[in-house]
Chains A and B, each alone.
Chain A
């Protein structure tokens, strides 16, 4: 258990489009971003990201390298959008605070 990672898989079979196969490296599932957005961005996007992360691994385990790669792309998209949404919310918030401060000062 402590040593998964042992010898790197021999030469990858026929390098090319999506050399996936079960010999290659499993596709990234962006689970870290899913967790971060669930816990920190307070965005339900995080929950969708967890679903896609789980899909990546279950398709991979079922031998569906192509499907896993597709789910990985979706997971990536959701990770990006939740990060962007987090930044946008923060900017809108700062803007809002500044405007409220300016208004209350003016009146």
Chain B
């Protein structure tokens, strides 16, 4: 009786621990570089950074307008200022930070991606962005505009 030895599927060699964290570390380095640049080179001074192309072409604010100034404000500890410039940026940064922690934890443990966000959440994000885009351009209502 020679039963074929069941082929044990070799588990793919997945790096874990510090070796797996190279890309997340790069992401942090990139984020720190951008943050440092924004902290040092003030986006409130005209001419330091390009104007948003959408704003330059259409004269309307896009969902990202004010994000550089918002980050500049955050680095200098001015949460209120950041919210006034672009609340979506503040929310997005929190989301990105949480996402980074989950991502790094998964890689650290050497696990494959196993969770997909519920689609409703993503369509909700889309709706939020589009609503924000529209609302910040309502004339005379400057609550959400970056100006």
A51 to B127, CA, bound (A): 10
Number of residues in B with C-beta < 8 Å to the partner? 39
Q: Is the CB of A15 within 8 A of B9?
A: yes
Contact code string A27-47 (vs B, CB < 8 Å = 1, else 0): 011011001101111111011
Residues facing A in B1-30 (CB within 8 A) are 9
CB neighbours (8 Å) of B116 from chain A are: 26, 29, 56-57, 60-61
A61 to B67, CA, bound (A): 33
A-B pairs under 8 A by CB, number: 103
- Can you list 27 A-B contacts (CB < 8 A)? A5-B111, A5-B114, A6-B114, A8-B112, A11-B9, A26-B113, A29-B116, A32-B99, A35-B96, A36-B96, A39-B89, A39-B92, A42-B53, A42-B63, A43-B54, A47-B129, A47-B133, A50-B125, A50-B126, A54-B122, A54-B126, A57-B118, A57-B122, A58-B122, A61-B119, A89-B50, A90-B50
Give 7 closest A-B pairs by Cβ, nearest first: A58-B119, A93-B50, A54-B122, A42-B52, A26-B116, A11-B9, A42-B64
